[in-house]
């Protein structure tokens, strides 16, 4: 079986699992009280990602994304545990059907990296690993609704799933005639490019199903040569590559950084897709950029880049049937 421990799983297991360890590696002093924040959401950082950080720089934009901070413990009004109200659209185990034509399958609970701003930090993952039996329910739900054209693999990070599970889902979904696209929302090509190996690529390159891979990168420093090699391999497997970012205070909240991110992604054949406003999740308020500030940054970005390199600035509003565009509309007076 291919599920025996693979090279990438070993690399994953060797990643940093505490802030102390990570800070020591970067020649930085320990931050007091980060241990408490780690209790609710543990530290997880692949070594390859940490090597792209600048040693000795406590404000490194990659470090800031993963460094557990005592600030997470301050509860702030308006920042909730389930800001997207996902538990209410999660009627079948492992399946979220909020948007027209698309369903989301949460096929793994964990990630290769734990991003401190992530809205999934409070998500009840254990309820969303239905196991092989449980997948049958999700698959018959999809088979029974001819309006579903696209199935999105999400998580956690879906590429942490075994090749065996991914292949099983591809085969089953390919037998449903109205499903024509599988989209994979993953940070793995950025944070653990070693996982993009031939056995996986063979599954993603499907004769009938189109594969779209939406990676998640927030800063140009994340894009190493290994990441480039992984994206080339995905392109050769005929995957369409897009990127989504989250606008994060102290990480990428300026037009120059975002422009450089778009340009460097494009050099790897990855097109910018979404720039998300932060979901207001408890513990992530220190990453928040106000809507007004975001719109100012976005306008600057539009003056720097060609249109196809400008991601859509969006926000997820619970109850809405799609993500909500947040760029300033010339014809409407934006409120808030
Ligand atoms: C973001 C998201 C999608 C995909 O939306 P697109 O606009 O097609 O990228 C689907 N389902 C859920 C629950 C989502 O959050
Ligand atoms: S779901 Fe994405 S953003 Fe959240 S911790 Fe995992 S990799 Fe990071």
Is the distance from the beta carbon of residue 113 to the nearest atom of ligand 2 less than 6 Å?
Answer: yes
Percent of the chain having pLDDT more than 90? 76
Model pTM greater than 0.85? Answer: yes
Q: What is the per-residue pLDDT across 47-95, written as a single tens digit (0 to 9) for each? A: 999 999 999 999 999 999 999 998 898 888 888 887 777 666 677 989 9
How far does residue 264's CA lie from ligand 2's centre (Å)?
21
How far does residue 111's CA lie from ligand 2's centre (Å)?
6
Q: Which two tokens stand for residue 315?
A: 């926000």
Ligand nearest to the CA of 278: 2
The residue that leads in pLDDT, 128 or 205, is 205
Ligand nearest to the CA of 185: 2
How far does residue 334's CA lie from ligand 2's centre (Å)?
30
pLDDT at 331 over 70: no
Residue in 216, 275, 279 to alter for ligand 2 test, most ligand atoms within 8 A of Cβ: 216
Is the distance from the beta carbon of residue 323 to the nearest atom of ligand 1 less than 6 Å?
Answer: yes
Name the 3-class secondary structure at 45: strand
pLDDT at 333 over 70: no
The residue whose C-alpha atom lies closest to atom 8 belonging to ligand 2 is: 115
Ligand nearest to the CA of 325: 1
> Confidence class of residue 14 from pLDDT cuts 50, 70 and 90?
very high
Beta-ladder partners of 185: 214
Provide the mean pLDDT of the chain: 92
Instruction: Say how far apart CA 155 and CA 159 lie, in whole Å.
Output: 9
Q: What is the per-residue pLDDT across 268-313, written as a single tens digit (0 to 9) for each? A: 999 999 999 999 888 999 999 999 999 999 999 999 999 999 999 9
Q: Where are the alpha helices (DSSP H) in 83-239?
A: 131-143, 163-174, 188-191, 198-204, 225-236
The residue that leads in pLDDT, 37 or 333, is 37
Mean pLDDT score, 35-41: 86
Give the HSE-up count for residue 282: Cα atoms under 13 Å, Cβ half-sphere: 13
pLDDT at 26 over 90: yes
Cβ–Cβ under 8 Å, residues 320 and 326: no
The residue whose C-alpha atom lies closest to atom 4 belonging to ligand 2 is: 118
Q: Which two tokens stand for residue 55?
A: 């040693």
- At residue 1, the pLDDT reads 42
Instruction: Say how far apart CA 125 and CA 93 lie, in whole Å.
Output: 10
Mean pLDDT score, 220-237: 98
Mean pLDDT score, 209-237: 98
Is the distance from the beta carbon of residue 122 to the nearest atom of ligand 1 less than 6 Å?
Answer: no
- At residue 334, the pLDDT reads 52
Q: What is the per-residue pLDDT across 117-163, written as a single tens digit (0 to 9) for each? A: 997 777 655 555 677 778 999 999 999 999 999 999 998 999 999 99
How far does residue 38's CA lie from ligand 1's centre (Å)?
29
Is the distance from the beta carbon of residue 96 to the nearest atom of ligand 1 less than 6 Å?
Answer: yes
Q: What is the residue-wise DSSP string for 65-115?
A: HH---GGGGS--TT-BSSTT-GGGG--BTTEE--STTEEEEE--S--SS--
45: nearest Cα among 18, 72, 20: 18
Number of neighbouring beta carbons within 10 Å of residue 18: 17
Give the HSE-up count for residue 27: Cα atoms under 13 Å, Cβ half-sphere: 6
């Amino acid at each position: 079986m291919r599920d025996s421990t693979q090279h990438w799983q070993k690399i994953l297991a060797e990643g940093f699992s505490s802030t102390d360890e990570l800070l020591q590696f970067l020649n930085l002093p320990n931050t007091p009280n980060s241990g408490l924040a780690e209790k609710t959401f543990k530290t997880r950082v692949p070594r390859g990602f940490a090597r792209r950080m600048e040693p000795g720089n406590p404000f490194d934009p990659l470090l800031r994304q993963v460094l557990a901070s005592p600030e997470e413990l301050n509860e702030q009004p308006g920042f909730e545990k389930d800001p997207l109200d996902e538990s209410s659209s999660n009627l079948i185990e492992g399946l979220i059907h909020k948007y027209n034509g698309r369903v989301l399958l949460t096929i793994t609970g964990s990630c290769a990296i734990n991003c401190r701003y992530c809205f999934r930090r409070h998500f009840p993952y254990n309820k969303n690993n239905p196991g092989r039996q449980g997948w049958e329910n999700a698959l018959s739900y999809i088979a029974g609704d001819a309006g579903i054209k696209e199935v999105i693999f999400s998580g956690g990070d879906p590429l942490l799933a075994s090749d065996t599970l991914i292949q099983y889902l591809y085969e089953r979904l390919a037998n449903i005639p109205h499903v024509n696209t599988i989209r994979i929302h993953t940070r793995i090509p950025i944070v653990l490019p070693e996982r993009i190996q031939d056995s996986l690529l063979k599954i993603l390159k499907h004769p009938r199903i189109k594969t779209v891979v939406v990676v998640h990168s927030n800063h140009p420093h994340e894009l190493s040569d290994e990441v480039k090699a992984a994206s080339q391999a995905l392109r050769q497997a005929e995957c369409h590559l897009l990127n989504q970012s989250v606008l994060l205070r102290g990480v990428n909240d300026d037009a120059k950084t975002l422009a450089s991110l778009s340009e460097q992604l494009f050099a790897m054949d990855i097109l910018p897709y979404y720039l998300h406003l932060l979901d207001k999740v408890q513990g992530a308020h220190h990453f928040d950029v106000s809507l007004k500030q975001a719109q100012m940054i976005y306008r600057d970005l539009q003056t720097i880049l060609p249109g196809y390199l400008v991601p859509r600035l969006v926000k997820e509003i619970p109850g809405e049937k799609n993500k909500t565009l947040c760029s300033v509309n010339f014809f409407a007076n934006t409120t808030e």
